[in-house]
Amino acid sequence: MWTVVGEVFGGSHRMFLEPLQSVGESLKWEKQKEVEWLGSSQEMGSVSTWSPNFWRKDLEEKLIQYMTAQIPLFGSSSNTDETALKQHLNQLETTFLPSLEDRGGVFKEAGLLVTYARCCHASLSSHLSMLTDSNHFSFSQCLLVYEWGLKMYERETCLRPRQTSQHSLSLDVQCLMWIVLKTEEKLLAVTQKEVGKALKEAFDTGKPHCADAAVIQMLTEKMEAACRVSESLSEKVEAVCLEECLRFLE
């Protein structure tokens, strides 16, 4: 039954509308039988065609698998090249997400849009989390991902009042906000780590005056970079920097 799902991602998806509609009908049947079973307290095994593997969950796993395979490669998460990261985020915005939206139409007609949209959000969230969870990601790289997520969130928020039922797929603003918040957590953690490391290295030089200037410059650069993206983020970065400085001086 799931072969058609892979075909939708591999070719002209309009050709597979009818078999995909059959998948949608099968899931409706499964849901109906589940409701009947819960209502009658009968064993589901009495239904000869019942699948114990829960078809909707299987479908979601397959969709996420196919969607993940469509994500442009970023090379290695240890890549510290900001230009490469910018290009990757641009590919997500201009290639990956539009391709998901394009396929969303056929899933909508098949009655599977809710499941499809949920999997779109899951695959994107998982990919961005994988990027920022790398120990090699720097403050500036995390800031790039944060800024990208914030831009996507603000764009969807602005578009939402004008959306109609004709739209096949839209990134869920709650999903995008979750991405922004999780990236913010990682950004602040990286800030703390980099500030602590810089303080230790600066004062280990044995030149207090040079150390003071270097640390102040680093803190200023981080806060200014964050401020260019969001004033509230800048305040949080500043708080983390000051907290780490106080911890170091204790």
- Angle at the Cα of 140 from the Cα atoms of 138 and 142, rounded to 5 degrees: 70
**Eight-state DSSP code of residue 110:** T
Total-model pTM: 0.77
Tokens 């260019």 correspond to 228
Cα 189 to Cα 210: distance, rounded to the nearest angstrom = 26
Which SS3 state, helix, strand or coil, does residue 92 take?
Answer: helix
Give the per-residue pLDDT at 53.
Answer: 47
* Radius of gyration of the chain, Cα coordinates, nearest whole angstrom: 24
pLDDT in tens, the chain (250 residues): 556 565 666 655 554 555 555 565 556 655 665 555 555 555 544 444 444 446 677 778 888 988 898 898 886 555 567 888 999 999 999 999 888 888 888 888 878 888 888 888 889 999 998 888 877 889 999 999 999 999 988 887 765 544 444 444 556 678 888 889 999 999 999 999 999 988 888 777 665 566 677 788 889 999 999 999 999 999 999 999 999 989 988 7
Give the per-residue pLDDT at 208.
Answer: 59
Cα 199 to Cα 138: distance, rounded to the nearest angstrom = 16
Quick: pLDDT tens for 9-65: 665 555 455 555 556 555 665 566 555 555 555 554 444 444 444 667 777 888 898
How crowded is residue 249: how many other Cβ atoms within 10 Å of its Cβ? 8
